[in-house]
Structure 1
Amino acid sequence: MTRGANGKTGKPRASVRQKVAHGAFLITAARSVSRALDLVTLMVLARLLTPADFGLVAIATSAVQLTEAMLELPTGNALLQLKSVGRKPLDTAFTFALLRGLFVAALLAGLSFPLANFFGDERLVPLICFLSVAPALRGLRSPRAFLLFKHLRFRPDATAEIFGKLAALCIAITLALETGSYWAIAAGSVANPLFYVIATYVLVPARPRFTLHSWRLFHRYLGWSIAAQGLSALNWQTDRFVLAKIASQTTVGLFATTRDIAAMPYKVIFESIQRPVISALSRSNGHRDRQGDTYRLTLSAVLSIGIPIAFAQAILAPQLVELVLGPQWLTVVLVFQAASLTLIPGLFSSMTSSLLYASGKPNLIFTRNLYDWAARMPLTVGLTLWGGWKGAVMAFVVSDCLLAFLCMMLVRRTVGISVFQQLAGAWRAAISGICMVGIMLVVGHSTEAGSGPLGIILYLLWMVPLAGSVYAVMLLVIWISIGRPDGIERLAFHFAEPLLPKTARRIVLGRS
């Protein structure tokens, strides 16, 4: 395997890995900007609206997201499996996405009345109907974007996403200032996909046609994936529905919004790497060892990024919650901390999904989600009824850990990487992260954040770089001390090498 990596077969593999890394870096940067815009929007809206407003929209949004995810059509993943993509498969994928969006919108309009009766709030009827426009809009994006994904070109999609977020930010904040109504949140949710779709046609022009000519290319993915996505969405939204029935809208707003904010880094990381990783893993289909090697290195790299973020978020939870949402939200810091730490098991499950999609095994994703549902549903319902929002926190922590273990078992079955090997890929990041946490606790105990947003920002401006520096130095020291194995450290050095002085390059490479 080592010789092969240096031989003729190794060059293309290295090239693909660099393309994946470059694509992932580009999308990560774009998604980071996108989520930063989301945070700015939340920071403003949380000070103009009440937690009850967020709770009402959270209930409606959960209904929309659940229905949308249950009818998700991963046509893009199916197209990535094809060696070459022609006009008819692209038009078929567009037609499927459009029909699915229209069906979701119609279904939600019909469900809005019984849902409003169930939760005892008539305002949900127009709110759900309005939010249901978003799924229909998402199905209209330029189909030619899939061709760019297949060739590991992600800049146009990243640009379109940022444009959509900027438009949503402006519209939501303007409406909140003018009306002080929860409709500002809903308007931003619909404006985002609308302007994203417009941008895709400007950046990647296309004239799609309505056809189902190539439907057979998608039927295997559509069947299993719809079922798998439905279970996954149900697993994610169950605690919100249970809380909405037994608690006030204020409690739901506090819980749902805080958890969503904590999950933003997870979404940035996974949404950024999903398409590049599926593209890379798809190229090694039929070569189990090569696919396993690619997966192992990618998982290790993702965990090396996710672990310090999860640890730092949990330590800085009080400051982050007060800065983003305001002091009235500090009662749910525990939700933020728990959701931050579950970023780590969440990365295992998300990476497994990419592997199984790339391997053409959506049936295993359904099986995994079914087992997850069988464990998560009774835990969520029972613990939430018993302990309210604190019980819901316990439920999603335990459930996410169980799901991660199940995913590791599926990876062992698919590419032959043992559970121990998967966990071992994170040991350098784990040790470095623990050292980082120790420094943060010691320094944080002796220095407190100032009062108000400005004081918190000044505190974070020196604490976050300090934590990042400690983590990076420890990771580099451990990597050099064990012989500089292949991993994210080598990849990071590859990109940073032109910027480093010769002395630093010699130290990193071990040259005299």
Structure 2
Amino acid sequence: MTIRPRSVGSEPRGSGAGLTSRTVSGLLWTAWGKGGHALLQVAVVVVLARLLRPADFGVVSAALVVIGFSAIFSEIGLGPALVQRTELETRHLQAAFSASFLFGLVLAGIVALGAPLLADFLRMPPVVPVLRALAWLFPLNSLAVVPEALMRRQLRFRWLANLEVLSYGAGYGLVGTVLAMRGFGVWALVAGNFAQSLLRLIVLLIAQGRPPVGVLPEGRALRDLMYFGSGHTVARVAHYWALQGDNLVVGRWLGPAALGLYGRAYTLMATPAALFGEILDNVLFPVMALVQGEQQRLALAYRRGIALIALIMLPASALLCVTAPEIVGVVLGPRWTGAVAALQILGAGLLFRTSHKMSDSIARATGAVYRRAWRQGVYAALVIGGAWVGQHWGIAGVAYAVLVALTINFLLMAQLGLRLSGLQWRSFWSAHLPALNLAVASGAAAWAVAGALRHADLPAASVLVATLGITLGWALLLVRYAPGWFLGQEGLWMLETLRTRAPFARGSASRPMAAELR
């Protein structure tokens, strides 16, 4: 069965109501997929931790660091290029399928042959056979590039969300657990990774049909895709180093103990922000690509997006800064108090860590991948250089340097987003005002409540739960009785959209694309 390409320009668009409904539905389904995956991950780790040795996890984790970095190059941006491209023909699908598979084979061979050198670098000889086995995930995953890109292009978010939960639970979770119970050790984890990828591929092929296959990619079609794909890959590499550069500096100059403290603080800040940002990006990139030629709709979507991110992240940032001592004490334990200051500093940048995703989505949706790439390069340089300077003042100095880098990256990406959407800086900043009002009011309440409870010498868990509960109640009262001040136009729009359209998310997600856009 051949997958027939969809020409975006030929599809009926009509009013934005259908696309808005589909976007809201997509956000809800994607949140379910990411949340369900996270819960399953915790459950599987709890089970496997009782069946396998720490060394087994360590070997696979070390191998996956190499695989994870190499994966940036595995599809060379061809999947996102298929999503972004306005006019898509069968030859583009053939070129993407052939090129991604061939490149996956080459990359697998390189990693397999270089496994001994990588093991020497990691000082972990047992990683060699594991790395050689996991390297063959590249050609396996490359077979899913075209079907998954078409699913995203068609905004089939419900399918993708359920697939994420199914493939992890029935693939990695079930296979890995059964083999671990049978004593396969580290190979249970390896097999779990393969089972997850294989199940994902099978379901995608069932949903989309067999992609058009060619022995070699057609040159012109490949060039059409590679302009976008190359810029996308360069940006991903730069962003990877921006996320890892501070850890490298701390580990190299401050040692493993400092890295442990800093790493836990960064994880507590970044994990919810990254999850939220990933949900937004998975939905907004294909949606914005669909309307990339309509600047007015892009501007409206961009303003609404940044306003809604701010409404969540600014109050969350205030709460994180206030309750950081309790969060560290409850989640990590009393031995980790050295991470509190770094968490408070990094927590102040929660908005910057998340909001740039909107600009990132619009840049990729409109094909501005090289303008995005150089900004990510600047971001990486600021993180690494700033962390090196900041390490002279310990992990707090590194945290301040990363906060500065996050702020500059936020502004650079905002400037790009504004240029692409046609939105003005004044409109950009005014979109943040309701969230800022809510953050100040919520933060003040949290500070007062937490201070009083600490003075009463209550346990950290009690202080944390009570502070969060009272602050949440206070915030709900504020938005209930003064919505204009604390929600703004965009917040009220989202509430109304959820009220009127979320109940129909299931139905709208399954209707054909053309019907959705009428």
Choose 224-233 or 113-122, whichever is displaced more: 113-122
1:159 aligns with 2:162: yes
Q: Tell me the CA shift for residue 364 of structure 1.
A: 0.6
The residue type paired with residue 221 of structure 1 is F
The 8 Å contact of residues 31 and 272 in structure 1, kept in 2 or not, is answered as yes
The CA deviation at 1:362 is 1.0
Choose the corresponding residue for 1:412, options 410, 413, 418: 418
Q: Secondary structure at the match of 1:156?
A: helix
Q: Decide whether aligned partners of structure 1 residues 280 and 43 sit closer, same or farther in structure 2, where only a CA change above 3 A counts.
A: same
Q: Distance in 2 between matches of 1:410 and 1:50?
A: 48
Output aligned runs, 1:406-485, within 5 Å: 406-447=412-453, 456=461, 464=468, 466-480=470-484
User: One-letter code of the match for 1:417?
Assistant: L
Range that drifts further, 126-135 or 345-354: 126-135
Partner of 1:148: 151
After TM superposition, give the deviation of residue 164 of structure 1 in Å.
3.0
Determine if contact 1:270/1:347 at 8 Å carries over to the other structure: yes
Alignment partners' CA distance in 1, 2:180 and 2:450: 36
Residue in structure 2 matching 1:34, options 15, 37, 50: 37
Q: Does 1:347 align with 2:351?
A: no
Distance 1:203 1:416, change over 3 A: closer
Trace 1:92-171 onto structure 2 (pairs within 5 A).
92-126=95-129, 128-141=131-144, 143-166=146-169, 167-169=171-173
The 10-residue stretch of structure 1 (144-153 or 321-330) with the greater mean CA deviation from structure 2:
321-330
Residue 394 of structure 1: aligned partner: 400
Deviation string, structure 1 residues 317-362 (Cα, Å, up to 9, x no partner): 4555566556655543445445544331122322111111111211
Tell me which of 302, 309, 313 is aligned to 2:309: 302
Q: Quick one: which amino acid aligns to residue 377 of structure 2?
A: L
Residue 83 (structure 2) aligned to one of 76, 80, 93: 80
Alignment gaps of 5+ in structure 2: 1-11, 504-518
* Counterpart code for 2:41: D
Are residues 1:494 and 2:492 paired?
no
Stretch moving more, 99-108 or 327-336: 327-336
1:97 Cα shift?
3.3
Q: 1:239 aligns with which of 246, 250, 266?
A: 246
SS of the residue 1:423 aligns to = helix
Structure 2 partner of 1:4: none
8 A Cα contact 1:74 1:221, kept in partner: yes
Distance 2:51 2:458 in 1: 23
2: distance between equivalents of 1:189 and 1:393? 34
| Distance of 1:177 and 1:327 partners within structure 2 | 34
Check the 8 A contact 1:436/1:467 in 2, yes or no. yes
* Paired residues of 2:77 and 2:230 also in contact (CA < 8 A): no
Identity %: 20
User: Aligned equivalents of 2:499 and 2:150: distance in 1?
Assistant: 30
Question: How much does 1:404 deviate?
Answer: 0.8
Relative distance call for 1:335 and 1:68 in structure 2 (3 A) is farther
Cα-to-partner distance string for 1:149-173 (whole Å, 9 max, x where unaligned): 2232211111111123324355667
Per-residue displacement from partner, 1:21-58 (whole Å, max 9, x unpaired)? 22112212221222233344566778999999988766
Aligned length: 486
Q: What amino acid is the match of 2:230?
A: G
- Taking the aligned partners of 1:52 and 1:331, their CA distance within structure 2 comes to 27
Decide which moves more: 228-237 or 241-250: 241-250
CA contact (8 A) 1:71 1:229 kept: no
Aligned to 2:93, the other structure's residue is in SS state helix
1:373 equivalent among 367, 377, 380: 380
- Structure 1 letter corresponding to 2:478: M
Give the alignment of 1:303-322 within 5 angstroms: 303-318=310-325, 320-321=327-328
Of 225, 234, 243, the residue aligned with 1:227 is 234
Unaligned runs of 5+ in 1: 1-8, 501-512
Residues of 2 paired with 1:249 and 1:45: CA distance? 26
CA distance 1:223–1:499, change in 2 (3 Å)? closer
- The one-letter code of the counterpart of 1:373 is A
Could you tell me how far apart the structure 2 residues matched to 1:150 and 1:215 are? 18
Task: Write the distance in 2 (CA, Å) between the matches of 1:326 and 1:160.
Answer: 36
* 2:515 alignment partner in structure 1: none
Offset from partner CA, 1:263-307 (integer Å, 9 cap, x none):
232232222222432233234333433322221122212222333
**Partner Cα distance (2:47, 2:341) in 1:** 23
Pairwise CA distance, 1:229: 1.7
Question: How do 1:198-277 residues align onto structure 2 when only pairs under 5 Å count?
Answer: 198-206=202-210, 209-211=213-215, 212-213=217-218, 214-246=221-253, 252=259, 255-256=262-263, 259-277=266-284
Q: Identify if the C-alpha distance between structure 1 residues 146 and 477 changes in structure 2 by more than 3 Å, giving closer, same or farther.
A: farther
Identify if the C-alpha distance between structure 1 residues 328 and 180 changes in structure 2 by more than 3 Å, giving closer, same or farther. Answer: farther
Deviation at 1:221, TM superposition (A): 0.8
Q: 1:17 aligns with which of 17, 20, 38?
A: 20
How far is 1:426 from its partner? 1.7
Distance 2:212 2:323 in 1: 47
Distance 1:105 1:421 in 2: 48
Provide the C-alpha distance between the structure 2 equivalents of 1:466 and 1:182, rounded to a whole number of angstroms.
46
What TM-score results when the alignment is normalised by the length of structure 2? 0.77
Deviates more, 1:209-218 or 1:150-159: 209-218
Q: State whether residues 100 and 145 of structure 2, in contact with CA within 8 Å, keep that contact through their aligned partners in structure 1.
A: no
Post-superposition shift, 1:366? 1.5
1:263 aligns to what SS in structure 2? helix
Provide the secondary structure at the position in 2 that maps to 1:285. coil
Q: CA deviation at 1:123?
A: 4.5
The 1:106/1:263 distance shift into structure 2, 3 A limit, reads farther
Aligned-partner residue type, residue 421 of structure 1: S
Counterpart code for 1:398: V
CA distance in 1, matches of 2:222, 2:45: 41
Partners of 1:494 and 1:122 in 2: how far apart?
A: 55
Residues 46, 91 of structure 1: alpha-carbon distance in 2 compared, 3 angstrom cutoff: same
The Cα offsets for residues 84-117 of structure 1, whole Å up to 9 and x where unpaired, read as 5454433433333333433443333445444444
1:410-455 residue CA offsets vs partner (Å, 9 max, x unmatched): 223323333443232122112212322333333334447987xxx9
Counterparts in 2 of 1:272 and 1:441: CA distance versus 1, 3 Å: same
Three-state SS of the structure 2 residue aligned to 1:487 is helix
- Amino acid paired to 1:415: S
TM-score (norm 1): 0.78
1:124–1:45 Cα change, 3 Å:
same
Distance of 1:99 and 1:196 partners within structure 2: 20
